[in-house]
Amino acid sequence: MSNVRLGFIGTGGNMNRHLRELTEIGGSQFVAFCDIVLEKAEQAVAQYGGKAYADYNQMLASEELDAVYISIPPFAHGAPERAVINAGLPMFVEKPVHMNAEEAKELAAEIEEKGIITATGYQERYLDIIDKAQELLASRRVGFFMGYWMGGMPGGWWREKAKSGGQLMEQTTHEFDMARYLFGEVKTVYAVARYDLIPNTDYDIEEASAVSLQFESGVFGIMFSACFTTNGMRRSGLDIFCEDGSLEYHLRRALVLSTADEKTTWNPENNCTIDMDSTFIEAVRTGDGSAIRSPYADAAKTAILSIAANESLETGLPVHLD
């Protein structure tokens, strides 16, 4: 295979980032773009070439593709992925991969049954400082951690719980995923939240939450989220407390190890999103997906964790995961 022939479902902000990076990486051909707003697909075609579609089923039936990128709002996941699976094509799916736990499991099972190569948009797994974090944690006993995703409130569908799943599904999913990557699977989730902190604003999501996570390994943590802050401290990442010191992961910016003897900082030396995209393209080219760090089945578990946290918010009860 020379150039990997790509189709794209969704042409919003996240997809535009992938398009820029895929252009920089090289080795792929942009064959077709699909968006429910045809004008957006046509704008992508004007910039990158290819053909515009408003119907992904028509695109999949009409074009000769090697793989498909899917970058759509959380509520729209499900049918596009199933169509790509039925076409037998590798796919890259932006997070969160689904808002329905059972459907996510079904899609993961179909992908496994058909042996389809998949990747998802949890780019932090590709950071060199996360490799370092795994190395440092391998020889340490972890007691607990605190995680964070704090900032302001985006607009549009993000403010509608039924469409975005709220901050726990749409943003904090990155840190849920990183916690799973470092500490393994979660067995129990319990969440609390605050509402109505922003006056004169139209939304129905929680503005602040805290999610308690109990892992099968014995590690526990609390994940804090906030989308009401406009000034003051904003924090995103993980603070990990070990027997002989602490490890601070500052979201995509730095890793800091503090012990009795010294404080050491590592900064990223790689572009994790380019590494993520290039890993997927190479997997499609070679037919070997073993280097992909977040395939669909794994990302589905992260989505299910966010879904469980939202369920706990609704019921006021802990949720026990299988």
Residue 300 lies in a domain: no
b/e burial code for range 6-30 (CB count within 10 A of at least 16 → b): bbbbbbeebbbbbbebbeeeeebeb
Query: Are 315 and 218 in a shared domain?
Result: yes
Whether the predicted pLDDT of 233 surpasses 80? no
- The mean pLDDT value for 243-254 works out to 97
The reply to whether 40 falls in a domain is yes
Q: How many CB atoms lie within 10 A of CB 216?
A: 12
Write down the pLDDT at residue 1.
Answer: 65
In tens, the pLDDT along 162-184 reads: 999 999 999 999 999 999 999 99
- The rounded distance, in Å, linking the Cα atoms of 72 and 52 is 16
The burial class, CB within 10 Å (0-12 / 13-18 / 19+), for 316 is exposed
CATH of the domain at 45: 3.40.50.720
- Show the domain range for 27: 4-121+273-293
Specify whether 116 is located in the same domain as 134. no
Cis amide leading into 154 (omega within 30): no
Count up the domains in the chain and report the number. Answer: 2
Residue 127's SS3 state is coil
The β-bridge relationship of strands 208-215 and 220-226 is: antiparallel
Identify the residue whose tokens are 């605190």: 146
Same domain, 134 and 261: yes
pLDDT tens for 118-147 read 999 999 999 999 999 999 999 999 999 999
pTM: 0.96
pLDDT tens digits for range 52-93: 999 999 999 999 999 999 999 999 999 999 999 999 999 999
Give CA–CA dist 41/54, Å, rounded: 8
Query: What pLDDT, in 10s, does the model give residues 92-113?
Result: 999 999 999 999 999 999 999 9
